Chain A
Amino acid sequence: MSPTAHRATAYFDVDGTLCSTNLLHPLVLYLVNQGTPAESMFRLGRALLQAPVLAAAELRDRRRFNELLFSHFRGMSEDRIVLLADEVFQDVVKPRLYPGAQELVDTCKAAGLRTVLITGSLDVNVWPLARHMGCDHVIANRLEFAHRKATGKLMQPVVAGPEKAGLIVADARAHGHDLAACHAYSDSFSDVPMLSVVGHPACINPDARLARLAQSYRWPILDIQRPAREGRRRETSA
């Protein structure tokens, strides 16, 4: 379908929504694949020491959590980050994709929707997934580089929590799409702003807080942990 033929956009959060990964999974793969074993040990140790701070930040401020997390990339070469991206997809993301994820994306495409992954993960790690699933675009975090080395900072805008809503508004407007006709999918309460901004929000495997909210607002709750195929309709149980 040509870009102009899309009638609206479907926005998908990635971690926990389309696959059972989180932002830590790719980071760990990067940390253990440094140039020397000593450097890997050093970076892993530093990350472990910061774990309690990360955990606290995740609960209180999603943006701060992202900044802390991606600071661990400081000093890594751009080449290494890009080179390992495919490995991250093959070894970390692809095996954790939910069985019904591809069919949900395909159903959106069949409905004439442009499909966009919107996530706090790094863009280099998300594009292989987007290509694999046939998605049209990625809105993700980008690392800042200086002299081909990561500075450990994220470029603006940081994709997290409420910012996702603003990015969706801007993206839909850029493509001439009415937000009321757009769809969004997420698993997390932190994505309520992004879900609220579109006309057709839906929750996938929602956390407890989001599930309660979804019930109140009567947002659809999807389970894509099993494939949506004829066999699935065979297995419907009481």
Chain B
Amino acid sequence: MSDHPCVVTIDHKSKPRVLFSGTRLVEVDLPVGTKVLYPKKPMKGLPDPRAAVRYALSHPLGSPPLYAKLRPGMKVTIAVDDLSMPLPSMKGPDNRALVIDEVLHQLDEYGVDDVEVIIATAFHRPMTKEEIRHVVGEKCFSRYWPDRLYNHDAEKPGGLTLLGTTPGGIDVEINRRAAESDLVIYVNLTFVPMNGGHKSLGTGLVGYRTLKGHHNPSAVRKSGSYMEPSRSELSRRMIEVGQLIESKVDVFHVETTVNNRMFDKPLEFLAKNEDELTDLESRAMSALIKTLDALPDAARQAVFERVPAPYEMIGVYAGACDPVHDAILEKVHQQLCVPVKGQFDVVIFPVPYISPYNVGAVLNPLLVSVMVEGYLHNLHRGAPLLKPGGTLIAVHPFTDRFDEAQHPAYVEFFHKLLPRTRDAMELHKKYEADFARHPSYIQLYRTGKAYHPAHPFYMWYWGENGRQHRGRVITVGADNEYVPGILGYETARTMAEALRMVREQNSDPSIACFRICPLLMADVTPDAAPPALVDAMGVDLTVPVPASPVSTRSGAEEA
């Protein structure tokens, strides 16, 4: 059976691959036989996204239409995903703005005027005024900002309401306004399979008491991939939380997703196989590499980050949580999944400048590790791309730089706690609770631009299943040795040196290169079935996919 067209095997004639290394692009010669996984071409966007939204609201899955839930005088809260997705943020109008426009139109028509709009930030930094304007759209912004359109505050005294405790023992407390609403409308943008579904409310509008029930090393360790709900303990716990919320609060979900058209025309060649570049594109690529090398850091960051992506809506579904999420996940998989046979001894991860947790800030070393052992490792279905005990090669400069406005607690976590221990369980048990109550960092979360002090812990846990799975991590292109050292990584100056280090232990390793950006996901058919996830008592932890209450599909696909 031949490889999928997005899986390219390096041969003697292959050109060097161009890989992201932070805000730079580097050319790397890969050994013959290396499998390079490229993102799929962008799917065609919906021809009329506004019409698709209207259709989805009127033809929901597993729920009466939105208009049938509305009555004059009712209290409605619209909760909205924050700007951590998509990456980078999309050209206007954002999917969420399109949905909110139509939702507001229906609320007006049915005489609903007690409306508040909350950005479901959880422990993320508050979104700025301009970011909020972009995400919710001008109509919503001009009507509700700032009194009835605001960021969720998980530390506001009296700002959360306890709804109950899940069968698994997680206390569920959510934003008081949402808890006291007759209807919550959740407007989401699912970019990767971990987003959306019960995670939306079960994470976005809750506080520490609830977050610690699923954002912990034990849940991540038990997850084969948190990008694959059926193999994710994290997802199972979030479903538990979400189901409890929905047993107390009426929630109408609107999920959307986009294709992976990350780069506009002038930079579109970045998504292509280097061997298929035209002469003009090859010259443009060389010029871009040289230009980026010549620019200072901040300017390089701006080149990529300040240019919004021309993402297009490829799906919108509304109604009950589970069927809506299932439908949107199908679209996400259709766009992202690249089939690949077998697992590899070595996987190369180029780490770009961006992650969900550094919009408008530098990708600090802790976030680089989250990308390597967390996000990128987990972007698989079926089985990890890396064999158990294999070697990850991370291409990034690993500069010791933090954005002190956004990530003040990260600095202390990275430079004070990690040198003491990298054991996620020890960090969780010994340090997390005190850190999560750190008054200065909480003040910065509430009044400034900062992430919550528990967030760096969650980021470390995010890499926990990757850390348990991999053998070594070797960095290529690090500008220092102590940052990789703190993370427990080895350093190599070049890819050739890194591969030499691998060959000292395995003379003929199989190698894969995960060639982002744009985004992709490895749909792995392992040589052998992946081991079942079992706990210490031998109980199978594989998470059953919740049965969808509706069997027939409607929604925007048929619009």
Contact = CB atoms under 8 A, between A and B. Distances in A.
Interface residue range, chain B = 35 or more
Interface residue range, chain A = 35 or more
A208 to B, nearest CB: 17
Interface in A210-238: 215, 218, 220-224, 226-238
B449 to A, nearest CB: 7
Given A106-B157, A218-B404, A236-B129, A228 B446 contact: yes
A114 interface: no
Name the residue in A108, A181, A220 with the highest tally of chain B Cβ atoms < 10 Å from its Cβ.
A220
A104 interface: yes
A128 interface: no
A238 B128 contact: yes
Interface string B130-158: 11000000000000011101111101110
Given A230-B153, A233-B151, A233-B153, A112 B443 contact: no
B434 A181 contact: yes
A107 B442 contact: yes
Name the residue in A223, A234, A235 with the highest tally of chain B Cβ atoms < 10 Å from its Cβ.
A234
Contacts, number: 94
A230 to B, nearest CB: 5
A13 B448 CA distance: 21
Interface in B438-491: 438-444, 446-449
B438 A200 contact: yes
B49 interface: no
Interface string B54-94: 00000000000000000000000000000000000000000
A41 B150 CA distance: 54
A236 B408 contact: no
A111 interface: yes
Nearest to B157: A106
B153 A218 contact: no
Contact of B447 (A108, A183, A223): A223
Interface of B: 126-131, 145-147, 149-153, 155-157, 159, 402, 404, 408, 411-412, 415, 434, 437-444, 446-449
17 contacts: A106-B157, A108-B439, A111-B439, A113-B439, A185-B440, A200-B438, A218-B402, A218-B411, A218-B415, A222-B440, A227-B447, A229-B156, A230-B153, A233-B151, A236-B126, A236-B129, A236-B151
Interface of A: 7, 10, 100, 103-104, 106-108, 110-113, 181, 183, 185, 200, 202, 215, 218, 220-224, 226-238
Q: Which 9 A-B pairs have the closest CB atoms?
A: A234-B150, A111-B437, A202-B440, A234-B146, A238-B128, A228-B446, A220-B440, A107-B439, A236-B126
